[in-house]
Amino acid sequence: MSLVGGAPDFDTGFRDRLADLLAWRRDVRRFRTDTLPPGALERLIGLACLAPSVGLSQPWRFVVVDNVSRRNAVRENFRACNADALAAYHGERAQRYATLKLAGLDEAPAHVAVFADHGTEQGYGAGRRTMPETADYSVVAAIHTLWLAARAEDIGIGWVSILDPTAINDALDVPKDWSFIAYLCIGYPQEGSSVPELERVGWEYRRTPEEFILRR
């Protein structure tokens, strides 16, 4: 790639398709069980590494989880945390919560845990002195990049957050100064939709952008 100049000129057609991608990206919990093509995961992670990072620190660490015992430990932790979450709801909301499918841990062929390495010296600390949490935010940008790149190949991602971070670090035997950011289920979705599953099942609905803009 050239250093400067020769920048791509994105046209209206591309922008329209990008808007489609943003609209049709989904948090997927219903996967087909067929595996990803060899090398697909590594290629997508390669694109994720183009994400912005504070001070060019690239604090993302992608842990591809294939070991059955480790996957089982993650699954058990999800079940326990989700049972706790259900217990905190009451009445009709609890009944509704109980019907939600919140993870595709059983079906998704690929599992990737993503961490932020708080101990990295890459970037020499630039940009994160007053806001050390920007290391975590960099990892989120990489995850979101992975998500979009995957969707463009019809591969779906579901972000599981109903987990105890300490338990996940232990289950995957990663350093204690790695902050757990996300556990990703990755595979081919059973169906496509432009509407979030939580909206389709009546849990919550999207508000219009105007509600989120203020002027100062």
Q: Which of residues 27-56 bind a second copy (CB under 8 A)?
A: 27, 42, 45-52, 54-56
**Alpha carbon 6 to chain centroid distance?**
32
CB of 107 to a second copy, least distance (A): 19
Give 48's contacts (C-beta < 8 A, 6+ positions apart): 60, 62, 142, 143, 145, 146, 149
Cβ neighbours, 10 Å, residue 59: 26
Tell me how many residues contact a second copy (CB under 8 A): 113
- Sole binder of a second copy in the list 63, 107, 109, 118 (CB under 8 A): 63
CB of 97 to a second copy, least distance (A): 7
Task: Quote the tokens at residue 193.
Answer: 């939709």
CA distance 153 to 188: 9
Give 40's contacts (C-beta < 8 A, 6+ positions apart): 153, 155
Binding mask 104-133 for a second copy (x = CB under 8 A): ---------x--------xxxxxxxxxx-x
Is residue 94 a contact point for a second copy (CB under 8 A)?
no
Residue 107 or 197 having the CB closest to a second copy: 197
Is residue 204 a contact point for a second copy (CB under 8 A)?
yes
